Amino acid sequence: MSPSDHINAYPIRFIEPVVLKDGTLIQLRPIHPIDSNQAEAFRGKLSSKSIYDRFLGYVPKISSKLIERLTNIDYTKEMAIVAEVQHKKEKEVIAVGRIAGEQSAGADIAVIIADDWQGKGLGSILTNYMIDVAEEMKYEKVYSTVFAHNTRMLEILRHRGFSIRIEEYNIRYAELILTTTN
């Protein structure tokens, strides 16, 4: 293993089992290039509204280039956490949380959950986990841009302590200063 491989090694420290409020056991773990084979299946579990809300109106086309970009990440600069559930012999990706650092101090966080898994507490669990990961990655703040009608996500962010302000008439900007020490 070369020194650069070690720097970007798969971060197993972010693998964690969690239990949803209905008792379902799921696993949170960093995304891996092998997840590219589940990308289209995951996309099929999302309604147009879920995609619209996650990408603020922009609906990206699924291409092999996009899938590669989203699953082959530099773990030192960004993070994507998948939530998966075990079904007999196979695992199903049911949600993805992402941290994308745009500055040395701050990172955008976003979460998308398969429609059938919404309302089970996964949004809160994954958001909290992404914040914990951002703190460990030494970000000083995290932020998210959310449609005003996405009241579930705004409530999750408020509950976690984000300050929320009106960005545009239908857009809210949420920000949380982290307590990391560099």
User: How many domains is the chain built from?
Assistant: 1
Model pLDDT, residue 4: 44
- Average of per-residue pLDDT across 75-97: 92
- Average pLDDT, integer, range 109-125: 95
Whether the model clears a pTM of 0.85, i.e. scores above it, the answer is yes
Question: What is the predicted pLDDT for the residue at 60?
Answer: 65
CA distances from 142 to 65, 68, 102, 135, 136 (A): 27, 25, 10, 9, 12
Whether 34 is covered by a domain: the verdict is yes
Nearest-5° angle of CA 168, CA 170, CA 174?
A: 70
Residue 16 belongs to some domain of the structure: yes
Report the largest interatomic distance among the alpha carbons of the chain, rounded to a whole angstrom. 51
Tell me whether residue 167 is in a domain.
yes
Instruction: Find how far residue 144's CA is from the centre of its chain.
Output: 11
Considering the domain boundaries, does residue 182 fall inside one?
no
> Does residue 141 sit within a domain?
yes
What average pLDDT does the segment 104-114 reach?
A: 89
Residue range(s) defining the domain that contains residue 26: 3-177
Distance CA 119, CA 156 (A): 12
In the chain, what percentage of residues exceed pLDDT 90? 64
- pLDDT by residue (tens digit) across 20-71? 999 999 999 999 999 988 888 888 898 888 888 888 776 667 778 878 888 9
Q: Considering the domain boundaries, does residue 93 fall inside one?
A: yes
Instruction: Check pLDDT > 70 for residue 2.
Output: no
Residue 102 falls within a domain, yes or no?
yes
- Looking up residue 152, the CATH number of its domain turns out to be 3.40.630.30
